[in-house]
Chains A and B, each alone.
Chain A
Amino acid sequence: MKFVNKKNIFIILMLLPSTFLLLGLTIFPFVVGLILGFTDFSLIRPQNGMRGVGFENYIEIFTTEEFWISFKTTLIFTFFAVTIQLILGTLMAVLLHHNSKTAPIMRALYLLPLAVTPVAATFSFRMMFNPSLGVFNFFLESSGFAPLAWLSKPDLALISLIIVDIWQWTPFIMLIVAGGLASLPNEPFESAKVDGAGDIQIFFHHTLPLLKPYLALAVIFRIIDAFKTFDIIYVLTGGGPGISTRTLNLMAYRYGMEYLELGYAASFAIIMLLIIILFSQIFLRKTNIYSTKVARL
């Protein structure tokens, strides 16, 4: 078959506009960012222009302790937030799947957190976390516990952030798992039941393996997003107390947009990009979710 035929022309025409757009909006900025990362460009001393400094920014980043602290904070935040969301989201999807009476209304309620602008939701949480007037401490005190200084102790502040993230994003995982459950075949479950397997056994031996591609997709999207969470942290703790909840994203923002060290921040962002690409490549290959079926015509 010749290369120039109607089919190929069609494919190219369909792909070209978005390819150009994505090249312009992602690859071009990426190249600009890459170049910036090798300069000391700063808006504080614009008269100096862009001076090449080689790998100086990168060396500086890797040798500052702050970077490693932020890296650790980012990993802890991402790991706990996504793990708890995965367990909770799957649990709720399964419960709803076996409870068809309440499912439609409950699914509608569970979706609400996804729609609330994170900044607005975080504001609500910030009121609730308030040490003296907040409703969380009110509940704690009325059930006989000591009130907590939610946002002003380093460890607790990070936990508070994880709580907000769990609130907002568990429904996302639930939604995808619910979709997966709805599309599962019936036969393996019926035969397992005939064999006398219990509910929990069926779940771990039959349901979970079949759900794997759905879970993998939900998790990869969540990891990517949790890794670069910004709004929740910016509004709830601003990275504090101290730098205890300052993730990599927030640190890059501070250097770029507050200290206006654009060259330094650009190299910082490149490092974040490499970390996430490396990680998701490994994840995608291990779980094999993008060996999708492509219809042949």
Chain B
Amino acid sequence: MFALSDLLPAREQMALTLGVHIILVPFGVALPVIVLLAHYRGLRRGDEVAMLLARRWSKVMAVLFAVGAVTGTVLSFEMGLLWPGLFDRFGAVIGIPFAIEGLAFFTEAIFVGVYLYGWKRMHPWAHFASGVPIVVAGVVGSFAVVSANGWMNHPSGFSLDAQGRVVGIDPMAAMFNRATLYEVPHMLLASYMVAGFVVASVYAVGMLRGRRDRYHRLAFGLAFGVAALAAPLQVVVGDVAARGVFRDQPSKFAAMELTTVTGPDQAMHLGGVLVGGRVVGAISLPGLDSLLVGFDRSTVITGLDRIPADERAPANIVHLAFQVMVAIGTALVALSAWFGWSWWRRRRIPSSRWFLRAAALAGAASVVALEAGWITTEVGRQPWIAYRVLRTRDAVTAAGGVWVSYLVIVVLYTALVVGTIAVLRSMARRWRLEEGAQERTGDRPDPEPVVAP
């Protein structure tokens, strides 16, 4: 009784807490790379502007890492507070990646402590080196957590006996499930794109307001450069991922593409919604869906008609989310190409105000794409918590009172998001004031190298 009524708030709470956490992930995984690039340049070339950027960015990283550590801890509680049914049956199957993630998180937390507090007193290169394990741990941790998510989409590494008991457990096969192979690079590249585009967008706004000094240009170039390298790779990985979903999760794929009737020569739908089993308002590109997924218009794609009604994902949400992600991703690749062209030909950031306006939007857009991609994966998996093995409703807690905890979480996370934004904005304001003061007094950062490389 409780189980049914608590399914909705439990899903809402999970969606909210994970939806917030996933925005922080890029700043724990990829921002350290951008910080270290600036740091390296600062040390190597005695570039004081780069050093200043690295120091300031590391302070942003400190705040976001702390918030991410907190929201990540909440998620590990929610595994038991909300979804005990998953771990009751499959904890022994999918626990190992979480243990690896725990190890990575530990390493990350330790070296974040060393790196953030080591600016003044440590040997400069030793201090730089203390940032490197953060990057490695970010990659390992992402791999581990995303592989657990991959398992939920493609459960493997066990079998079920006649009574439905879990037997023949192989934790390695579970971790290296087929979805892991494309989900992990997809999420890693997304992290690099989001961190790069978001940081760059801040300086794009500054440049649009006339602050086109070296500080802004260098900051923009470093961050945007990282994102622009990741963006085209993401096209390739995303394409592999889509075909992986086609192969492994026909119900999700049918929802993503709004494929209603099984058959060959499926059209690709741009936009559109499913109303009463029919696609309305879409631009149809005949045969393109089959062509893209199987390189042949005769490729048969399973439609919603072959998916039992109680095993269908909410197609409109999944389709909309998928298209938003692809559209934004494509636009970001185009923007990256513009940047790349200008850099290749003229060694500089495109000077067009239109480029800067687009770059200023790219930060928020990349976050929207990240969320949309995540919605595609997770909502597209429904009604299963583990695809075709365990339904979400059968995994939910029987403790009751989830509405209460959901409301508390809504209030808490609103305060958390508002607090994070307020703190970051006041940091930025403080830095701008410092810049202004330095310009007035002529007390610019020392152009001489402080540290001999």
A binds B: no
Mark B residues whose CB is within 8 Å of A. Answer: none
